Amino acid sequence: MTTVALKDVTKVFRDGTVAVDSVSLDVNDGEFMVLLGPSGCGKSTVLRMVAGLEEPTSGAVMLDGEVANDLPPRERKIAMVFQDFALYPHMSVGDNIAFPLKLAGIEPAPRGERVADVASALGIGDVLARRPSQLSGGQRQRVAMGRAIVRRPGLFLMDEPLSNLDSGLRAELRAEISGLTRELGVTTIYVTHDQAEALTMADRVAIMRKGVLQDVGTPTQVYGRPATLYVAAFLGSPRMNLLEASVYVHLDRYVTLTLGDQALYLPWDDIRSRAVAHYHGERIVVGMRAEALTPVAPDSPGDVLQGRIRYLEHHGHESLAFLDIGATAIVVDEVGAPADSDTPFGQRGLRRFGQVMQRFTGRAAVPDANPNSGRTSGRTSVLNDPGRHHRRPAELAVRLAPYPAVSAGHPLAIKVRMDALHFFDERGDRIDVGWR
């Protein structure tokens, strides 16, 4: 049984990089917690502090309710799994898995039994005599998992353990890892920049940006009720449509949300109107996921936006239409294109590449980007903050049936599910409208 608590933990590296900024997070016993965020947001640094491989600059890392800042890594009852597997190439698979037990002084007979049990649970019982070089990537990852679980640790720390594998195998191992950790009841902290991994595997997800924790909750909570504009923009594919809206209150009648030259109306007796009404005369951000938008006949009544298709994207099972609706979109920087979530070539890769190039050429190949340079206060308006967000003509992402009978230039009317709208204030914080 292991619980982890981070209390106001900050890590500033010697060069002044603030990798982790006042993070507080509780991980419950047996919980599968995923740390999610783009490359360089500080996820691995959090994990390394929990492992005892990095010391916090301030704050406390607590294990089972005790401050563990000064506890050496080997006394923390943890097992780590990394993306590069870190297997011993000269040892057989069986010896790799048995190694931690050997170190712990376990006799050969019970050692062999434990190894056989773990190997059969992971489906690698028939390759125990092979060397790691004679295995596939997926098998190697299973051996790394086996070596981690064989000691029955209280806490698993996994740093992008699947990112070197192809996508089919990743999906398979995703299910295996989450099944296995739950079966074992081991508390797990799993680092990834892949939102699909986070949403499918986690009991709860903690989303980070530039060292700052943005939101923590179950996958349903963080997806359905994102705490900040950043989380709203980061999660989901296609990205949530984020539109600048002006609020105008017609007392006792309705609240108008003006999007360019069109408007949506919240009836006054709708509970959400009261929260949004505080922003009368101001601009807010209205978020609409594609699932809240349905194409309808052009003259349909109710909450309908009119647009013209700028372009279509065909994805096989569906097509996405991107509509010009004459409104302004708020684009959150650093979330990357959705496909980014699939590239293992993160900041760490860049750093390594830079170090290798430097060794050969004496010059840095890639400047070591400091995500905190140009950091702005959390109070800055997102509607006027060129370093972090920018505005551009909105292209509303809408789902259509595969290969629809429309093309670029076609007009399209879209019905908006008003109860699925998200609202954010000018600082990028969720406006709580008291529902869901």
> Residues interacting with ligand ATP, by CB under 6 A?
13, 15, 17, 19, 37, 39-45, 193, 346-348, 368, 370-371
Identity of the amino acid at 380: T
Of 31, 83, 82, 25, residue with least CA distance to 50: 25
- 3-state SS assignment for residue 391: strand
Min dist. Cβ of residue 20 to ligand ATP (A): 7
Closer CB to ligand ATP, 113 or 368, in the complex: 368
Q: Encoding tokens for residue 419? A: 């109860």
- Backbone angles phi and psi of 314, in degrees to 5: -100, 125
In the complex, least distance from residue 351 CB atom to ligand ATP, rounded to whole angstroms: 6
Question: Is 35 or 292 the residue whose CB approaches ligand ATP more closely?
Answer: 35
- Taking the complex as a whole, how short is the minimal distance between the CB of residue 167 and ligand ATP, in angstroms? 18
CA distance 413 to 304: 6
Shortest CB 191 distance to ligand ATP, Å: 6
Query: Is 161:86 a contact under the CB 8 Å cutoff?
Result: no
Query: From residue 39, how far is each of 22, 226, 422 by CA, in Å?
Result: 19, 20, 26
Closest approach, Cβ 179 to ligand ATP, in A, equals 25
213 versus 290: smaller Cβ distance to ligand ATP = 213
Structural tokens at position 220: 């349903």
Nearer to ligand ATP, 65 or 367 (CB): 367
For 48, list phi and psi in degrees, rounded to 5.
-65, -30
The encoded tokens of residue 295 equal 């194409």
CB of 338 vs ligand ATP, minimal distance in Å: 17
Q: Where are the alpha helices (DSSP H) in 270-397?
A: 271-277, 347-361
Comparison of 44 and 273: residue with beta carbon closer to ligand ATP = 44
- The Cα-based distances of 315 to 39, 236, 312, 400, 402 in angstroms read 26, 15, 10, 10, 7
Taking the complex as a whole, the smallest distance from the CB of residue 173 to ligand ATP amounts, in Å, to: 18
Residue 76: CB minimum distance to ligand ATP, A: 19
What is the Cα–Cα distance from 75 to 46, expressed in whole angstroms? 18
Q: Which is nearer to ligand ATP, 193 or 239 (CB)?
A: 193
Closer CB to ligand ATP, residue 20 or residue 309? 20
Q: Which is nearer to ligand ATP, 126 or 368 (CB)?
A: 368
> How many other β-carbons are positioned within 10 Å of the β-carbon of residue 261?
9
CA distances to 97, 291, 431, 436 from 221, in Å: 38, 16, 15, 10
